[in-house]
Chains A and B, each alone.
Chain A
Amino acid sequence: GAVVSQHPSRVICKSGTSVKIECRSLDFQATTMFWYRQFPKQSLMLMATSNEGSKATYEQGVEKDKFLINHASLTLSTLTVTSAHPEDSSFYICSAIRTSGGEYEQYFGPGTRLTVT
């Protein structure tokens, strides 16, 4: 089946630095990917929609200048957390849409655990 990968699986960074998280669709092309954030014991919160070749669409309350999204190819979207702070520590999950024979399926990545110290 379709697979979505994320890299790294976990990262620890110091406050004030930037961190890049990659989301790749391994065996299909995805014009649309999504980025979610999940805090402990909470549900997934949609952050933004990443569209290949165009600017990302951010959900209300998500700072676009802090969470930079680049969808440069049909198999790769990146999320960069700029000037990270401890409150940005969270589990970041991406998903990708695969179209096949007129049907659409959404696959989730395994997530990236970000810890900001």
Chain B
Amino acid sequence: GAGVSQSPSNKVTEKGKDVELRCDPISGHTALYWYRQSLGQGLEFLIYFQGNSAPDKSGLPSDRFSAERTGGSVSTLTIQRTQQEDSAVYLCASSLSGNYGYTFGSGTRLTVV
């Protein structure tokens, strides 16, 4: 695609429910990242995928968070048993290997009530 596509753009969920956030990166971009942006906070790194290598999961805040990337393309971030502190904008980005200039999607705004 022309850009990084994320869905849904907005998600309201009840505390304790599971949610899945989807990211479709730019075609040909081998690197894919998930970041979280909370109100008044900077972007917080969550997870990084590069080609077929094992992902860097060092930023995931708890074991309720997981992510996968199928076929080196689409990625899904799953949050289980959501908590109110999970409310944030979840941003996905992709880049060519070796390129630090990411292209971000518009994000999924998650609200846990």
Partners in one complex: no
